[in-house]
Amino acid sequence: MQQNNGLDRNQIILFMLFSLIMMGAMFYFQPSPTDEQSTNKPQTAQVQNQIASPAAVSNLNDSLNTNSIKQVQLKNKELTLVVSTLGGQISTVELNEYKAYNKATDVNDKKLLFFDKNNSTYGFQFKDKTGKVFNTRDLVFTPVQNGNSVTMQANANGAVIEFIYTLQDKYTVDFNVKTRGLSQLVSDQTAEFIWDHSARQMEKGRSQEQTHTEFNYAFDNYGSFDYDGRTTMEEEEETLNWIAIKQQFFTAVLEPQNGFTNSKGVQETIEEGEFLKKFNFSGQTALSGGELNQNFKWYFMPLDLTLLKTYGKNFDELLPLGWSFIGTMNRWFFMPMYNIIAGWGLTAGWVIFLMTIIVKLILSPIMFKQHKLSAMMRVIRPEIDEVNAKYKGADPMKKQQETMAVYRKAGVNQMAGCLPALVQIPIFYALFRFFPNFIDLRGQSFWFAKDLTAYDDVIKLPFSLPVFGWDHISIFALACTVVILIYTVMTSGNIQQPQQEGMPNMKVLMYIFPITFFFFLNTSSSGLSWYYFVSNALNIFIILAIKYLILDEKKIHAQIQENKTKAPKPEGKFQKRMREMMEQAQEQQKEQQKHTGKKK
């Protein structure tokens, strides 16, 4: 199963390039689309063709008079529901305390409607003893309302079908299904539940929201969780405890009392317009003695971690904070830290600013060691240049061995600078998950960014950029790129140039990296761009402070000279392995040269 990893096609390409550059830098730095899912069209047709047409169920209702279709409203503080007598299904779901993005005003001021205008339909499909199928969403029900509860009743060839909806506290809707006389009508012992849903765009960043719009489901008695954002969903062997269609910040969840079996789903990306994706789900539920008497629950809720955890049904997994250590870091470090600082009354942008400083302070021992090593590398540069001049034109392997010997005599560990880069990679990915999925940041403005979970687009382009499809330039992404470029220029003097012909110039690659990063950030959360702008600006100040206020390069030079007079430190395992590999490569090269000479 191909699952959503939180990236669209362009971001995947750029993230892979970024990772390759980071790995290359760790070995050479001293010291340190969418091909959207291959949607199975035949399966889509199969699910849709199972839906009975109005003609197929004409014998179940006298005539479908649109004047007889009524709407019943149920409302509490959090939700406003409208239940239609056509199909006895929920036709409108509004989350009262939230607003959806309005492109005309560029802010969140539209009604947030998860269901509306027939974008979502569902019902139970049965097969009668003659082999014909009928679906409850083609029936016209009769409503009886009692407060925040409504009973919908319909007749199907003598069978009585009742849907009882009760709006409970907050975001829960009890959906009780009862039948009488169905056993005389149907031949199978299962009913097929079919749900067709077109996910409406609710957020500013279409590509980002589309990436986070997907199937989610739990099984193994709520103990296991899975999701799928790109392909068909097939769970024929598992019993699903609930099925959800999740978007970036909101979700609709259906929980059957006895679970769904033989579950299948397909999804199709919608490239433009009001909707993001089209979903089709079907799952079977067992009949008891030929009757369907089972309780279901609908949940229409925001993806707020505290709220999701209160249900105790693995709903908190709906929030895509990252797997394993990444998710743990977000749940137990970044989220609590944000909430504590936000409790001081600061706006979201300044909360992120302080979060950046705190992370820097935590990493300061590692960062100080890295920058100290950078200073030592600057001091030892004349000795390195001397080796390069001495062995110019000589065997590249020999030159590399002599260079490593200089480092070893000076007490400089070439690979020590890689540690900060390794530490910051999981932090980067955790924040990449945190900023666009943390609902407390949704709609929070800061300077020219109107929503820190989406990109800022103050600079609008008069055209759409080919391949990427951009029509804007993000100021935060641009500022972050400039700061990273300045930092790269300041540290590029420590980059080891390739010793062999044909090897890439790492300085060039490191200058390309900030540009690549801009393409990555331009459509990402502006909160992420702001964080990395502050982080890299602090890096620049740290380098300057260490260079001019903390470290004395004369003392470092004296220490290096003293180290040269001492017996060299024993090689570490990595250094030993590197030396052995070079020696082995050198021997192989000599053998090849001998072999070539004999042929001549």
- Mention every residue, 6+ apart, whose C-beta is less than 8 A from residue 452: 348, 349, 352, 435, 441, 444, 445, 446, 525, 526, 527, 530
Query: Residue type for 246, please?
Result: K
Cα separation, 100 vs 503, whole angstroms: 51
pLDDT of residue 595: 64
Tokens of 478: 């641009």
pLDDT of residue 60: 39
Tokens of 278: 């089209």
Please check whether residue 132 is in contact with residue 48, taking contact to mean a CB–CB distance below 8 angstroms. no
pLDDT of residue 487: 83
pLDDT of residue 557: 67
- Mention every residue, 6+ apart, whose C-beta is less than 8 A from residue 313: 218, 222, 241, 242, 255
pLDDT of residue 458: 83
Please check whether residue 474 is in contact with residue 456, taking contact to mean a CB–CB distance below 8 angstroms. yes
Please indicate, yes or no, whether the overall pTM of this predicted structure exceeds 0.95. Answer: no
User: What digits encode the pLDDT tens for the residues 84-139?
Assistant: 999 999 999 999 999 999 988 888 999 999 999 889 999 999 988 888 888 999 99
The order of strands in the sheet holding 107-115 is 71-75, 79-84, 90-102, 107-115
Residue located via tokens 């719009």: 213
Please check whether residue 563 is in contact with residue 510, taking contact to mean a CB–CB distance below 8 angstroms. no
Nearest to 72 by CA among 177, 159, 167: 167
Nearest to 202 by CA among 286, 113, 116, 285: 113
pLDDT of residue 360: 87
pLDDT of residue 420: 66
- Mention every residue, 6+ apart, whose C-beta is less than 8 A from residue 593: none
Residues recorded for the chain:
600
Residue 501: C-alpha distances to residues 381, 498, 579, 580 (Å): 21, 7, 20, 21
Cα separation, 507 vs 496, whole angstroms: 8
Domains for the chain: give ranges and CATH numbers: 43-318 (2.70.98.90), 343-565 (no CATH)
Dihedrals phi, psi of 233, to nearest 5 degrees? -110, 125
pLDDT-flagged residues of the chain (< 50): 1-15, 22-64, 498-504
Cα separation, 373 vs 430, whole angstroms: 27
Dihedrals phi, psi of 369, to nearest 5 degrees? -60, -40
pLDDT of residue 42: 35
User: What digits encode the pLDDT tens for the residues 151-166?
Assistant: 999 998 888 999 999 9
Tokens of 596: 């070539």
* DSSP-derived 3-state class of residue 18: helix
Neighbouring CB atoms inside 10 A of 328's CB total: 13
Please check whether residue 525 is in contact with residue 452, taking contact to mean a CB–CB distance below 8 angstroms. yes
Cα separation, 374 vs 521, whole angstroms: 28
Burial class (CB in 10 A: 0-12, 13-18, 19+), 63: exposed
pLDDT of residue 219: 93
Tokens of 481: 């790129």
In angstroms, what is the C-alpha Rg of the chain? 31
Angle between helices 348-390 and 418-434 (to 10 degrees): 150
Residue 123: C-alpha distances to residues 258, 330, 340, 384, 505 (Å): 17, 38, 45, 75, 62
Residue located via tokens 């960014």: 449
